[in-house]
Amino acid sequence: MKTITIKGISFIFVCLMILSLCVCGVSASNVNTSNRFNVCFVLDSTNSLLDTDKEKLRYDATNMFLGLLANEGNYVGSVIFSGGVIKKNEIVPINGPQDKKTAETNLETNEQLGATTIGEALDVAVDMILVKGDNSLPSVVILLSDGQSNKENTDEMTSRSEALAKAKTNKIPIYTVALNADGEADLEVLEQIANATNGKYKEVKKSDDLKDVFKDFYNMIYSTGTINIKDGTVPEDGVISVDFKVPYQGVEEINIIIASDNKIKNLKLEKPDGTEISSKEIDDLTTDAKRFSITKITKPVGGDWTLKGEGDPNSHIKIDMVYNDLITVKTDYYEKKEIYGVGETVTVNGLILDDGKNLKGGYENYSAWIVPDTENGKKIQMSLDSDKFVGTITFDDEGTYTYHMEIEGNGLKKETETGEIVLNVGNLPPEIKEEGKDFSEHFWVFPFFTKTCEVDLTKAVTDPDGEPLKYEVVSSTFKNTTYEIDGDKLVIKDFYDLSKGICTIRAKDAKNAFAEFDVTVSLTNVGIITIIVVGVGAIVVIGVLVGLGYWLSRKKFMGSVTVTNIETGASMTKQRNKGHINLSSFQVGATGLSPKARFQATGKAHIEFRCPKPVSSSVEMKKVKKITIKSQQDVIIYSDDAKEHGIQVRFESYLDSM
């Protein structure tokens, strides 16, 4: 009987792993795990904020966001800018209320300066995420500014170009808030930053509204929603009693947000079983800000809860609930083909996961859809089938179809990644060439001369069926007024936007099958001053060369030059007063040396042989372009490595007889 060795066991294990991968390979799946993030705040701290946010309510807004974060698992950092980056707090893990408090304190600064340097701050923030963030988590940057970006500053524009390119490449969306209380905010730039990185943009007219925007951003980023429990006034008797429901599955924490004209006293929470969380316990779970408070309950029991408290009669009160969840979404589809036919169908199964495990029960509280990512296809509502959702995609036309799945319910909206399901109907889509996988073009832009810059898109993609392709820009870090598509060319027509940008291009064939690729375009704007400097430099160089030529032409020949062909013995002697004598003027036959070779006068008892290409000789150890020939010295200059062709040179100087 043979003994199974460790190597044998390892081999069997590897085989089983490969087999399992092959079996699983018949389906495609994707899980959304966006319940933890790397978050970097980028806050403006210029002088203008003293007027637009006198009460410093921007810190209330960031505290709202931080307060809603799950107590553990997120990573948070910040960059404060004003005339440059004035404060940087590295990305660190949040593991409890004290870490949140530290993050809140780090965001505050009393330093206000002048210029708005958005580009530099964003560049620092993106680099912080890439270097210090948890690379297993998705990331987001949240930018708040009320200032004008400095479009005339080359360094600022370069920094913004680099930041947007890195954010887009690494799929880091930037959410931007324009605090435009004085009407001076650069709305166009802040909107461009958000659009370029697949983020969101909001304009706010007064600082008091910032907390609502940051709460909305939290809901968007974490795919949750705000459930309003009460929005009205405190009853005449001052007693507050509000019922609300907590889902039975997937809830990690609930956040009760109370905004009131006056502080609510004796706040209590009654659980579904009738027991209470006392006022003292709630005080330990509550974070107070200027305009609101957040009470966070971890691992809440599902069911009907009641919030109780006391307030001043008729004063306004608003109570919202936001909960952090462990819900994710997964899809599977089978019978995967390279090409589908018109009229065929594909069945998609959708699963809800609670903390990574298939949800058992509770599907009836959600609605689910298969959602197209392009104009191809239509939104399909999925039906409930026990503990899963089922939807069927039918192909009415040829083309490329891409879909993702969305669910909504219990105050949540979850979805899988865009383009998770890709299906080709009727023919193969265009193929990205090797060059198109890292496609970039650089252009020098000269004022008055460069009108447009054109990128040939056919370098990046081809169609396997040989069909002509149409191109469109799906997204870009450039403003949409910067570029256009002209046939198979991407045309850059505005050179004063960004110095570097990325355009995502969709190449589509006649049957609407498509492929997408990125092209990075960098521009070096050669300004008028640069042209003047280069022009002056060129004039100086030309002057030096002319002067050198004139100086050399004044050097005298102090003797005669005799050249002999070493192969044929043909010989000739020449002399000249000044300058140089070309080798070609000696009638000695073919020598193999360049016709541009010449003898240069030095005004001394020697001359120089100069040749465009290095040659060997009897007086140099290696090949050189310049050989010194002294008076009364026979020097052989070879034109071949075998030393069979060339010339012998003798210089007879007049100075020897003086």
Whichever domain contains 653, its CATH number is: 2.60.200.20
How many CB atoms are located within 10 Å of the residue 333 CB? 21
CA-CA distance, 293 to 307, in Å (whole number)? Answer: 14
Task: Indicate whether 270 pLDDT > 70.
Answer: yes
Closest CA to 143 of 167, 118, 124, 168: 118
| Overall number of domains in the chain | 5
Question: Tens digit of pLDDT for each residue in 77-87?
Answer: 999 988 778 88
Percent of the chain with pLDDT over 70: 90
104 shares a domain with 196: yes
40-54, 115-129, 242-256, 544-558: segment of lowest average pLDDT: 544-558
145 within some domain: yes
Q: Which range has the worst mean pLDDT, 4-13, 209-218, 407-416?
A: 4-13
pLDDT of the residue at 11: 38
Residues 169 and 48 in one domain: yes
Q: Quick one: which of 589, 590, 601, 636 has its CA closest to 615?
A: 636
What does the pLDDT average to over 127-150? 90
Is the residue at 623 inside a domain? Answer: yes
Mean of pLDDT values over 395-412: 92
Query: Which residue range forms the structural domain that includes residue 142?
Result: 38-221
Residues 310 and 348 in one domain: no
In a domain, 233, yes or no: yes
102-105-108 Cα angle (round to 5):
155
- The torsion defined by the Cα of 439, 154, 168 and 141, in degrees rounded to 10, comes to 170
Between 242 and 16, name the one with better pLDDT: 242
Overall average pLDDT of the 387-393 stretch:
94
pLDDT tens, residue by residue, 4-40: 343 343 333 333 333 333 333 333 344 444 589 999 9
Q: Are residues 193 and 71 in the same domain?
A: yes
Query: Residue 525: pLDDT band by 50, 70, 90 thresholds?
Result: confident
Q: Answer yes or no: do 154 and 290 share one domain.
A: no
1 found inside a domain: no
Q: Are 509 and 429 in contact (CB under 8 A)?
A: yes
Q: Any idea which residue has 């109370």 for tokens?
A: 258
CATH of the domain at 347: 2.60.40.10
**pLDDT given at position 1:** 36
Let me know: does 650 contact 618? Beta carbons within 8 Å: no
The domain boundary, picked from 325, 349, 383, lies at 325
If residue 171 lies in a helix (H) or strand (E), which one and from where to where? none
- Taking all residues of the chain, what is their mean pLDDT, rounded to a whole number? 87
Residue 384, pLDDT > 80, answer yes
Q: Are residues 279 and 363 in the same domain?
A: no
- Token pair of 291, please? 């305009």
Within 10 angstroms of residue 457's Cβ, the number of other Cβ atoms is 21
Same domain, 198 and 261: no
Contact (Cβ atoms closer than 8 angstroms) between residue 236 and residue 282: no
pLDDT of residue 553: 56
Q: Which pLDDT band, with edges at 50, 70 and 90, does 337 fall under?
A: confident
For 95, the token pair is 């593991």
Tell me the mean pLDDT in the region 412-419: 89
- CATH number of the domain within which 315 lies: 2.60.120.380
Q: How far apart are CA 654 and CA 650, in angstroms?
A: 13
Can you give the CATH number for the domain in which 213 is found?
A: 3.40.50.410
Is the same domain home to 144 and 216? yes
Residue 477 pLDDT > 60: yes
> What band does 54 get if pLDDT is binned at 50, 70 and 90?
confident
Average pLDDT of the residues in 483-490:
96
State the Cα–Cα distance between residues 497 and 479, nearest whole angstrom: 7
- In the predicted structure, residue 590 carries a pLDDT above the cut 60: yes
DSSP alpha helix (H) spans, 45-204: 49-52, 57-68, 97-107, 118-132, 154-169, 187-196
Residue at a domain's end among 165, 187, 221? 221
User: Is there a single domain that holds both residue 419 and residue 443?
Assistant: no
- 337 or 442, which is more confident? 442
Q: How confident is the model at residue 657 (pLDDT cuts 50, 70, 90)?
A: low
Q: Is 537 exposed, middle or buried (0-12, 13-18, 19+ CB in 10 A)?
A: exposed
Residue 598 lies in a domain: yes
What does each C-alpha distance from 606 to 183, 602, 603, 623 come to in angstroms? 80, 7, 8, 20
Specify the higher pLDDT residue, 415 or 26.
415
The amino acid occupying position 374 is T
Is 607 inside a domain boundary? yes
In this structure, the answer to whether residues 209 and 84 fall within a common structural domain is yes
Report the pLDDT value the prediction gives residue 529, as an integer from 0 to 100.
Answer: 53
First-to-final CA distance of the chain: 109
Q: What is the mean pLDDT of residues 308-330?
A: 94
Mean pLDDT over 563-585 rounds to 90
Burial of 56-83, coded b for 16+ CB within 10 Å and e otherwise, reads: ebbbbbbbbbbbbbbbebbbbbbbbbbb
212, part of any domain? yes
State which of 221, 240, 272 marks the end of a domain: 221
| Residue 386 domain-assigned (yes or no) | yes
- Provide the residue type at 31 as one letter: V
Ranges 110-124, 257-271, 293-307, 457-471: which has the least confidence: 110-124
Identify whether residues 343 and 301 lie together within a single domain. no
Q: Give yes or no for a contact between 564 and 571, defined as CB atoms under 8 angstroms apart.
A: yes
pLDDT-derived band at 578, boundaries 50, 70, 90: confident
Band of residue 550 on the pLDDT scale cut at 50, 70, 90: low
Bridge partners (DSSP) of residue 39 are 76, 140
The rounded percent of the chain whose pLDDT value lies above 90 is: 67
332 and 320 in a common domain = no
Examine the pLDDT at 359 and tell me if it is beyond 50: yes
Look at residue 448 in the predicted model and tell me its pLDDT.
82
